[in-house]
Structure 1
Amino acid sequence: MNILTFDIEEWFHLLDNPTTRTEQDWSRFDSRIHHNMDRIFRLLDETNTRATFFCLGWVARKYPDVIRRIDEAGYEIGTHSDLHQLAYEQSPTEYRADLERSVKSLQDVIGKKVRSYRAPGFSIKEQNRWVFPYLVEMGIEVDCSMFPARRAHGGDSSFGIAEPCYIDVNGSLLKEFPINTVEVMGKDLIFSGGGYFRLFPLRLLRHFMRQSPYVMTYFHPRDFDPDQPMVPGLSRTRQFKSYYGLAGCWDKLKQLLLEYEFIDLAEAERRVNWSDNRIQRFNVTI
């Protein structure tokens, strides 16, 4: 089961960068979202593939035409937060307000319930699992935020499950589709999106795909835009992580979409036998 998802944000929405933290910072940059979304829509049309789009509430207010186009094409829309902030850097009050605003902004545009969520940067760690009751409160039924391995921001290697499961949140069940891992030399490796996908050559991606009965992808419009400017203030390490492999990402993903079946989150949810799935129980107080 290979699931295709996109996180819809602007090219300058990079995390942990002091020059791109706020809406005021973002106003200095030119938009590239329409150009980059055109490429994504063309890719899906050319490969006859369905996908789920996790969108910022900010995008819904700034570019409602982008959200409407996704919806009118019949693609599923979830929330990727409102202002693309790391969840573990927010207080519970800040997090709840951001989540509520994102859900409302998206629902106002599409006139449909938003029932799925992915945290920016997979920023749910063991210490901020208090986010889960807020997801349940806001009507989120499916989460795609768990990253069961170490990463620069986010990641919860203690989660222990890299396949669809339930999260029991104080008695309420939340369906979880975490990022998948492959074991390489005793370590859990990620390959299915972002800089990881851009780093690996196609033949190695094919090898990982063959090893993986479950793949959860995550791509961004900027991943297919080799002509985007350099965001100011990035360290050399961040420049490498954010810009390496942009030129080849489109062709690699297109080839995999032609070789393997990919489905959206809604279809994946239908295919999972939830009666047989493990449950992670989190008793969380806020």
Structure 2
Amino acid sequence: MERIFRILDDTHTSATFFIIGWIAKTYPDLVKRIAEKYEIGSHTMNHQLVWEQSRSEFREDVSSSIKLLEDITGKPVKYFRVPGFSIRESEPWAFDIIKECGIEVDCSVFPAHHSHGGLPSYGKAMPSIIKHGNTTLKEFPISIKQLGNHNLVYTGGGYFRLCPYFLIKYWAKQQEDYLLLYIHPRDLDAGQPMIKELPLLRKFKSYVGLKGAEQKLRQMLTDFQFIDIGTANSKTDWDKAPIVTIQ
């Protein structure tokens, strides 16, 4: 976290931190420190994938994390991102629960296939209004690059670590209307211990590109100016945003 603070300070970048509840419970002083300068959103209490839970379990996972974060910071929690982009076509009810828990802006949609989920039928990655039944929810989906018949994610996590920076910069410049960038603290920690027992593919996904990730992120935040979710929300003309109906 100290590394992330330095990077944001050095590049004069605002950010939104999506925090897992059990981590907030373990490190409340760190959460307070983040909240003094940056926005905070929920990343659920236990980081369980949506489709591994019942509706009641997911509701408790989301609502309990929001209450905890609000108790620690004294500020309302209005933003949310689901663990692992794990809302699939078969779990549209998750958006109902997210809205019921008081979330105003969601960042959970992965508009492509994903090992944990994804909504490949979502359409273009841009600020949108999700509609499911009587639920409407503002959505900032993860950015994608269309290559032939495939949608490629390149602006976050292992995708960001894996892609060479010249490609990231080139593709990002083509996304003049909307670009969302995310990072995990571990994505920047080249000194973390390696779990040797992991399967080879999982090991590749977890550790590829760690050594160059910090410099890559610094360059990205120097070449482009990013804003936090709250600022993006206020700058978006939601009356003109496309409505994505999810059955």
TM-score range, shorter chain: over 0.9
**Unpaired runs of 5+ in structure 2?**
none
* 2:125 is the alignment partner of 1:162: yes
Q: Could you tell me which residue of structure 2 aligns to residue 206 of structure 1? A: 169
* 2:8 is the alignment partner of 1:44: yes
Instruction: Supply the AA of the counterpart residue of 1:148.
Output: P
Q: Could you tell me which residue of structure 1 aligns to residue 49 of structure 2? A: 86
1:261 to partner: Cα distance = 1.0
* 2:60 is the alignment partner of 1:97: yes
Residue aligned with 2:198, SS: coil
Q: Could you tell me which residue of structure 2 aligns to residue 248 of structure 1? A: 212
1:269 to partner: Cα distance = 0.8
* 2:199 is the alignment partner of 1:235: yes
* 2:235 is the alignment partner of 1:281: no
Equivalent pair of 1:165/1:175 in contact (CA under 8 Å):
yes
Relative to the length of structure 2, the TM-score reads 0.96
Equivalent pair of 2:20/2:47 in contact (CA under 8 Å):
yes
Q: Which piece of structure 1 moves more, 172-181 or 227-236?
A: 227-236
Equivalent pair of 2:41/2:77 in contact (CA under 8 Å):
yes
Structure 2 CA distance for aligned equivalents of residues 48 and 134 of structure 1: 35
Residue aligned with 2:40, SS: strand
**Unpaired runs of 5+ in structure 1?**
1-36
The count of aligned residue pairs is: 246
Structure with bigger RCO (C-alpha 8 Å, 6+ apart): 1
1:232 to partner: Cα distance = 5.1
Structure 1 CA distance for aligned equivalents of residues 95 and 167 of structure 2: 35
**Following TM superposition, where does structure 1 have runs of at least 4 consecutive aligned residues deviating by more than 3 angstroms?**
none
Instruction: Supply the AA of the counterpart residue of 2:114.
Output: R
**Residue deviations 1:39-78, cap 9 Å, x none?**
00000000010001100111111100111011012x1100
Instruction: Supply the AA of the counterpart residue of 2:35.
Output: D
Relative to the length of structure 1, the TM-score reads 0.83
Identical columns (%): 48
Instruction: Supply the AA of the counterpart residue of 1:252.
Output: K
Equivalent pair of 1:182/1:211 in contact (CA under 8 Å):
no
**Residue deviations 1:239-286, cap 9 Å, x none?**
000000001000011011111111111111111111111112346xxx
